[in-house]
Structure 1
Amino acid sequence: MLSVMQSEDDLKLSLKRLNRFSRIMETQWRIPFTKIRFGLDFLIGLVPVVGDVLTGLLSLWLIKESLRYQLPKRIYIKMVLNVLLDVLVGSIPLLGDFFDLMFKANRRNLKLVIEHLESSK
C-alpha cells in the first residue's frame, strides 16, 4: 500500500532508483564468457570483514527507502535477514566471496518490494 501522498510517478521514480542501486551493487558487470554478474557488493566485499560490513550498511539504504511503501513487517524482517546473511557469510574468506557472487541480497530485497506492490494493486 502506498502512502497517501505517493503518486504513481513518484512510485515509478522511486522503484527506478532502487533498481539502479541494486544493479550497481550486484549486477553491473559480467565475468567474461560466463553468465555470472557482479557489482560493487562483490568488489568491496573482497576487503575482508570491513568490506562486507560496508556493503551491508549500503544495503540498508534500500530498506530505508522501501519504508515509504509501508510494507508488512514480515517483509522488512526478510529484507534485514537477507542483508545480515550477506554480511555474515560474506565475511568468511573465499567462501564469502563466492557467496557474494551468488546471493545478491539487494536484488532479493528489491524483488520482495516489487512483488508486494504488484500484489497490492
Structure 2
Amino acid sequence: MFEQIAGHLDKNPDAVRRRVVAIERLMERSMTIPGTNHPVGLDFLLNFIPVVGSFIGAAMGSYMLWEARNLGMSKWQMARMAGNVGTDWALGLIPIVGAVPDFFFRSNTRNLRIIRKHLDRHHPATVTVEG
C-alpha cells in the first residue's frame, strides 16, 4: 500500500527540491522564539515530548533520505544524511536537555544542503535563486 501512495509523488527533481525545502522549513525554521531572532521548527518542539518526540523527528527527517534515494544519490551521501538524522535522534533522546543540541545541530538543514548540492550538479535546471 505504501508503494501505491509513494508512487503518486512526483519524482521530478524540481518537485523533489520543493518538497525537501518545505520539510526543512517545517522542521527547522517554521517559527521564531519570541524575543529572539532565532528560528526553530517542529524538530525543536518535538524534543519536549520525552522519547516519542525524538522518534517522530527522526521519522520526519528520514523522509529527506527517502527522497535522496529516489534521486539516485550516492550511498556515501545517503550515509552522511543518515548520520545527521541518527545524531539528531540520539541527542533528542535526552529528556528536555536534548532540545539544547537541537537548537544548534540542524540535521534537516544539513541534509537539505547535501540534496541541493546533488541537484545543482546533476539537475541544474532546478536551481532557484533564494532571497
What TM-score do you get using the length of structure 2 for normalisation? 0.79
Shift of residue 33, structure 1, vs aligned partner: 3.0
Unaligned runs of 5+ in 1: 1-8
Shift of residue 23, structure 1, vs aligned partner: 0.4
Partner of 1:90: 92
Distance 1:35 1:119 in 2: 33
Distance 2:45 2:15 in 1: 27
Distance 1:72 1:118 in 2: 15
Residues 1:40 and 2:42 are matched in the alignment:
yes
From 107, 110, 118, the equivalent of 1:108 is 110
Shift of residue 45, structure 1, vs aligned partner: 1.7
Distance 1:108 1:53 in 2: 19
Unaligned runs of 5+ in 2: 1-10, 125-131
Distance 1:92 1:60 in 2: 20
Alignment of 1:17-28 (within 5 A): 17-28=19-30
Shift of residue 93, structure 1, vs aligned partner: 2.7
Number of aligned residues: 113
| RMSD value, Cα | 1.6
- Identity, in percent, stands at 30
Distance 1:17 1:58 in 2: 12
Distance 2:76 2:33 in 1: 35
Residues 1:65 and 2:67 are matched in the alignment:
yes
Shift of residue 116, structure 1, vs aligned partner: 2.2
Partner of 2:7: none
Q: Deviations over 1:14-46 (max 9, x none)?
A: 101110011001110011232211111111221
Distance 1:10 1:102 in 2: 32
Is contact 2:29-2:41 (8 Å) kept? yes
Partner of 2:129: none
Moved more, 92-101 or 19-28: 92-101
